[in-house]
Amino acid sequence: MGIINKTLLLITILFLMTPVYSKPGRKLKYQPVIEGVQVLNDNVCLDTVIYKKIGSLELAADIYWPKGKKQTKRPVIIWVHGGGWVAGSRTGEKQKALELAQKGISVVSIDYRLYDWKNDRHAKKIETGQFDRATSDIADALRWVKHNAQTYGFDKNRIAMAGGSAGAQLSSTFAQKNPDIKVYVGLCGLYDLVDIGQGRFGKTCENYGIETLKDKKNASAIYNIHQKPPRVLLMHGTADTTIDCQQAIRFAKALKQNGSHVQIELFEGLGHGFFYQSRKTQKNAMPIMLDFITKAFDQIKRDKNE
């Protein structure tokens, strides 16, 4: 097995994600797809749409919302999956999306362009840098959400973003740069590419077009804190050897120094991808996330009405 294949296998195992990439057949752009909606249970509906096309490539999103309330204005979360930038899929976030939708929060779980080891490793980063491509996809997902807010009942004033691991690195940086994102949730994320710490994640950064100090700062949420940043929840395992929990601790400190509303939850003895390690872990972590998101959105709604 070659070095590249070994590295790819290692990253995939570390992130506990299935390397699935979906290319649905519908050829749509910025158009809602309501026909063929699946009713997952008594409370939640699911729809799959194409939110972006790049040539023949179609990027899909799964939309979850409370059954029977499609036209009601509800908060919405754009979820960016993890997988080391090379693996993972929107479908891996189904359980979290279901629980959030059952609580009245819509979820848009997106696919984005992943790093292609075969073709991208010899390409110039300025032309095909993974960070730039993925960020562009996230931006287009946000545009899709705003464009289709009326159809799906999204409240454009209550848009959140969330991500885990590599998805947290991408989404946290985007959220800090974009004032449309009012709430942010990061799970076992990498927020500072300049000072990686003890984790192993940063060793692969240069493959993704993140090479110079300027590149690393541009791709790090901690160096891009907005003057009016979103409300932030950070969750991290203290035994994470892939991304050191100091990443979350330092980011939370920087946010507080900026006057931001931030909550950090450290899970003692748990490693990377702790959300996927056991049902018990999920039962302990999900209520914290739901409580934070609900209270944050309620406060945003009150502030708007004052």
pLDDT per position as a tens digit, 82-108: 988 888 999 988 889 999 999 999 999
In whole angstroms, give the CA distance from residue 220 to residue 173: 6
- Secondary structure of residue 1 in the 3-state scheme: coil
Confidence of residue 11 (pLDDT cuts 50, 70, 90): very low
In whole angstroms, give the CA distance from residue 260 to residue 240: 25
Structure tokens at 41: 């249970």
pLDDT of residue 227: 83
CA dihedral sign of residues 186, 274, 246, 189: negative
pLDDT of residue 147: 97
Q: What is the CA radius of gyration of the chain?
A: 18
In whole angstroms, give the CA distance from residue 260 to residue 154: 25
In whole angstroms, give the CA distance from residue 225 to residue 216: 14
- Among 17-26, 183-192, 194-203, 285-294, name the one with the lowest average pLDDT: 17-26
User: Hunting for tokens 């910025």 — which residue is that?
Assistant: 30
Which range among 9-13, 131-135, 248-252, 269-273 has the greatest average pLDDT? 248-252
Task: Say if residue 8's pLDDT is above 70.
Answer: no
Q: Taking residues 223-247, what's their average pLDDT? A: 93
pTM, entire model: 0.83
Number of residues assigned to the chain: 306
Structure tokens at 169: 């690195």
Q: Which CATH class is domain 3-305?
A: alpha beta
| Nearest CA-CA partner of 115 in 149, 88, 142, 146 | 88
pLDDT of residue 22: 36
With a CB cutoff of 8 Å and minimum separation 6, the contacts of 87 are 11, 12, 15, 17, 18, 19, 114
In whole angstroms, give the CA distance from residue 284 to residue 277: 12
pLDDT of residue 2: 54
CA dihedral sign of residues 252, 197, 287, 166: positive
Work out whether strand 74-80 and strand 154-164 pair parallel, antiparallel, or are unpaired: parallel
Q: Taking residues 169-181, what's their average pLDDT? A: 96
* Phi, psi (rounded to 5 degrees) for 183: -135, 140
